[in-house]
C-alpha cells in the first residue's frame, strides 16, 4: 500500500511552491492587517486521515486587499491584445504540464479521487488552456446591414472586469480553470475562492501561475486567490466590483449566491446539483451500459455533479442488469487512491460518510430495498462500500442529490417515452444518458420533448465531459454554461456599434425629426 510519509508530503508540496512547517504546513495571506487574528483550518487527507496542513483563513480586510489588487491589474490586462493574453495562458498550460505528476498526486491525496482521476483533472486544466489559446484569436462579433443609408452596424465584446470564482471540493482545480482561462483571454481578471476543504491544490496552482506572470512582468492581480469560509463567498456575491460571480456547488449554495448577486443586478454563472440518470432500453448493448453505469456511479466515490444516481431499466432486461451490477460491486477495489489497483477512493470527510449512512436509512424507511453495499469500512480514512438500492423515482431521497456512491435502481415497463418522463421528473437537470441501438429511441431522447438536461448522451455515461462542449444544466442545476462552445460570451459584455459614414442623419424606422 502506497502511503505518503511526512517527508514525501513535504517534497511534493515544496515542489509546488508550498513551504513546509514540520510536521504540517502553514500557508496563507502575506498581506493585510497584522493585528487581527485569523482562524486556521486543519486540512486532513480523506485517504488516511492524516493532517496535511494548517491554512490561515482570510478576513474581510484581506478580501478588500485582493479586490483592490485585482482592480489595479485589470486596466493593464484588458489593454493587452487578446492573442497576447492567449500567449500567457499558453505558458500557464506548459507550466501545468511540467507539474502534472505532483499536482495530480496532491489532488488525489487532498481530495481522495483515485490517482488516474487526479492526473485527469490536471490534464483537463491543460486542455482548457489549449482551448483558450485558440479562442484568444476567435472572440468574434457580428456585422449586420443597417436600414439607414451610409451606415454600418456591428457588435463586439469587451471584458467585464473582475470575475469571482467559487469552486467546490470535488474538482478542486479543473472547474476553476474552465472559468479562469476563458475569462483571462477575454481580458478579465479573476479572484478565486476555492473550497476550504481542498485549499492546497488551489494554492499550488496560484504559485504556478504567479511564476508565469512574474516572468512576463505582469501583475499577480490578474489571477488572485483567497482562502476563506462562507463569509468570504458572501462578500464576493455582494460586491459591485465583481460583475460576474461563477459558483459551483450545491443547489442550496447556488440559490443563496444567485439571490445576493441578483439583488445588485450582477451576473451569476451557476453550476449546481445533478440527479443524473441512465436509461437502459431492451435494445441496449448491456455490457457497454454496465461499464458506463459503474464508472458513473462509483467514480470519485459518487462525488461528481455528473455522477450516475438513477438507473432506469426496462423490465425485459432489469434482472440481467441488476445481477451484473451486484456481481461487479462485490469485486470493486476500494482503498487508498494512490494505489494503481484502486477503483474507489474515500469520501471527502466524516460528514460525508454520515450523510451517506443517513441517506440509506431514509430511503429504506421510504420503502427502498438495499441490494448491495452500504457499509462503512473500519479503516483509516473515509471509506464506504458503494450501494445499490431498488427504489421508486418519487421517493424523497431519490429526488434529492446525495453526494455519495448510492445508485437507485428504477424499473420501467412501457415505451422509451415513459423512461424519459421518469428521468425528467426531478428538480435537477444536468446530465443524462440513454443506451440503445434503436434510432427511434435515441432520437426521441435527444428531441425537444426528450431529455430536459443540459447534457444528453447516447451510448455514453453521464459522468465526464470534454472541454470542447458547453458544460451545465437546467432547472435547479442553475442554467449556467462553462468550458467550451461559446461559453466565453458570459465573461464579456456585448456592445452594438453603429457608424454613420455619410453626411446626413437619417433616423431608424423612418422617423422624421426636423429642427
205 has catalytic annotation = no
Mean pLDDT of 358-370: 98
Question: Which residues have a Cβ under 8 Å from the Cβ of 204 and sit 6 or more positions away?
Answer: 13, 16, 17, 18, 99, 103, 106
- Nearest partner of 350 among 330, 369, 368, 377, judged by Cα: 377
Q: What's the predicted TM-score (pTM) here?
A: 0.94
Position 6 confidence tier, pLDDT thresholds 50, 70, 90 = low
pLDDT of residue 18 exceeding 70, the answer is no
- Size (the chain), residues: 515
Residue pLDDT, tens place only, 293-331:
999 999 999 999 999 999 999 999 999 999 999 999 999
* pLDDT, position 190: 98
Residue pLDDT, tens place only, 168-188:
999 999 999 999 999 999 999
Residue pLDDT, tens place only, 202-223:
999 999 999 999 999 999 999 9
Residue pLDDT, tens place only, 97-155:
999 999 999 999 999 999 999 999 999 999 999 999 999 999 999 999 999 999 999 99
Regarding predicted confidence, which is higher, 22 or 238? 238
Out of 129, 190, 305, 453, pick the active-site residue. 305
* pLDDT, position 464: 80
Residue pLDDT, tens place only, 264-295:
999 999 999 999 999 999 999 999 999 999 99
Average pLDDT for the chain:
93
Strand partners, 190: 163, 223
pLDDT of residue 200 exceeding 90, the answer is yes
* Side-chain-side CA neighbours of residue 200 (13 Å): 34
Mean pLDDT of 438-449: 98
What's the CATH architecture for 59-272+481-493?
3-Layer(aba) Sandwich (3.40)
Question: Which residues have a Cβ under 8 Å from the Cβ of 377 and sit 6 or more positions away?
Answer: 334, 383, 384, 385
8 Å CB contact between 310 and 408: yes
39-60 residues labelled b (16+ CB within 10 A) or e (exposed): eebebbbbbbebebbebbbbbe
The DSSP bridge pattern shows strands 223-225 and 189-193 to be parallel
110 has catalytic annotation = no
The C-alpha cell at 183 is 475569462
* pLDDT, position 390: 98
Domain 276-467 fold is Aldehyde Dehydrogenase; Chain A, domain 2 (3.40.309)
Distance CA 109, CA 173 (A): 14
Out of 110, 124, 271, 476, pick the active-site residue. 271
Residue % of the chain over a pLDDT of 70: 94
Mean pLDDT of 392-413: 98
Please report the sign of the dihedral spanned by the C-alpha atoms of residue 130, residue 13, residue 170, residue 108.
positive
8 Å CB contact between 302 and 388: no
Mean pLDDT of 497-506: 96
The C-alpha cell at 346 is 474515500
Distance CA 396, CA 363 (A): 8
- Nearest partner of 291 among 423, 455, 463, 139, judged by Cα: 463
Residue pLDDT, tens place only, 459-481:
999 998 899 999 999 999 999 99
Domain-by-domain residue ranges, the chain? 59-272+481-493, 276-467
pLDDT of residue 28 exceeding 90, the answer is no
Query: What DSSP letter does each residue of 170-191 carry, written as one string?
Result: SSTTHHHHHHHHHHHHTT-EEE
Amino acid at each position: 500500500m502506497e502511503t505518503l510519509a511526512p517527508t514525501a508530503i513535504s517534497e511534493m508540496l515544496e515542489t509546488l511552491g508550498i513551504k513546509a512547517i514540520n510536521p504540517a504546513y502553514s500557508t496563507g495571506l502575506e498581506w493585510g492587517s497584522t493585528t487581527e487574528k485569523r482562524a486556521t483550518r486543519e486540512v486532513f487527507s480523506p485517504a488516511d486521515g492524516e493532517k496535511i496542513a494548517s491554512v490561515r483563513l482570510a478576513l474581510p480586510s484581506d478580501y478588500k486587499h485582493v479586490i483592490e489588487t485585482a482592480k489595479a491589474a485589470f486596466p493593464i490586462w484588458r489593454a493587452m491584445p487578446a492573442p497576447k493574453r492567449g500567449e500567457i495562458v499558453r505558458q500557464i498550460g506548459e507550466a501545468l504540464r511540467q507539474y502534472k505528476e505532483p499536482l495530480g498526486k496532491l489532488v488525489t491525496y487532498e481530495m481522495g479521487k483515485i490517482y488516474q482521476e487526479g492526473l485527469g483533472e490536471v490534464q483537463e486544466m491543460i486542455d482548457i488552456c489549449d482551448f483558450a489559446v485558440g479562442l484568444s484569436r476567435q472572440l468574434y462579433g457580428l456585422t449586420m446591414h443597417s436600414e439607414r443609408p451610409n451606415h454600418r452596424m456591428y457588435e463586439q465584446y469587451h471584458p467585464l472586469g473582475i470575475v469571482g470564482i467559487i469552486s467546490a471540493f470535488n474538482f478542486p482545480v479543473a472547474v476553476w480553470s474552465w472559468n479562469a482561462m476563458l475569462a483571462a483571454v477575454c481580458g478579465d481578471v479573476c479572484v478565486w475562492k476555492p473550497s476550504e476543504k481542498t485549499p492546497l491544490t488551489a494554492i499550488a496552482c496560484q504559485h504556478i501561475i504567479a511564476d508565469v506572470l512574474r516572468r512576463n512582468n505582469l501583475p499577480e492581480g490578474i489571477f488572485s486567490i483567497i482562502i476563506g469560509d462562507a463569509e468570504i463567498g458572501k462578500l464576493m456575491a455582494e460586491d459591485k466590483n465583481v460583475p460576474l460571480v461563477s459558483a459551483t456547488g450545491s443547489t442550496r449554495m447556488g440559490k443563496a449566491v444567485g439571490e445576493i448577486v441578483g439583488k445588485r443586478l450582477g451576473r451569476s454563472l451557476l453550476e449546481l446539483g445533478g440527479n443524473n440518470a441512465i436509461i437502459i432500453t431492451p435494445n441496449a448493448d448491456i455490457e457497454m451500459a454496465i461499464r458506463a453505469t459503474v464508472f458513473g456511479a462509483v467514480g470519485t466515490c459518487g462525488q461528481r455533479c455528473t455522477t450516475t444516481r438513477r438507473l432506469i431499466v426496462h423490465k425485459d432486461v432489469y434482472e440481467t442488469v441488476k445481477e451484473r451490477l451486484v456481481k461487479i460491486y462485490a469485486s470493486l477495489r476500494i482503498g487508498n487512491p494512490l494505489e494503481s489497483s484502486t477503483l474507489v477512493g474515500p469520501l471527502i470527510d466524516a460528514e460525508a460518510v454520515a450523510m451517506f449512512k443517513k441517506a440509506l436509512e431514509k430511503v429504506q424507511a421510504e420503502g427502498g430495498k438495499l441490494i448491495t453495499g452500504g457499509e462503512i469500512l473500519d479503516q483509516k480514512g473515509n471509506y464506504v462500500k458503494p450501494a445499490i438500492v431498488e427504489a421508486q423515482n418519487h421517493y424523497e431521497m431519490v429526488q434529492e442529490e446525495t453526494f455519495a456512491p448510492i445508485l437507485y435502481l428504477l424499473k420501467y415497463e412501457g415505451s422509451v417515452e415513459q423512461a424519459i418522463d421518469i428521468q425528467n421528473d426531478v428538480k435537477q437537470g444536468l446530465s443524462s444518458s440513454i443506451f440503445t441501438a434503436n434510432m427511434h429511441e435515441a432520437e426521441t431522447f435527444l428531441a425537444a420533448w426528450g431529455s430536459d438536461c443540459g447534457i444528453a448522451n447516447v451510448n455514453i455515461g453521464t459522468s465526464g465531459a470534454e472541454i470542447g462542449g458547453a458544460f451545465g444544466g437546467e432547472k435547479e442545476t442553475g442554467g449556467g454554461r462553462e468550458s467550451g462552445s461559446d461559453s466565453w460570451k458570459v465573461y464579456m459584455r456585448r456592445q452594438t456599434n453603429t457608424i454613420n459614414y455619410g453626411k446626413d442623419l437619417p433616423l431608424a424606422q423612418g422617423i422624421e425629426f426636423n429642427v
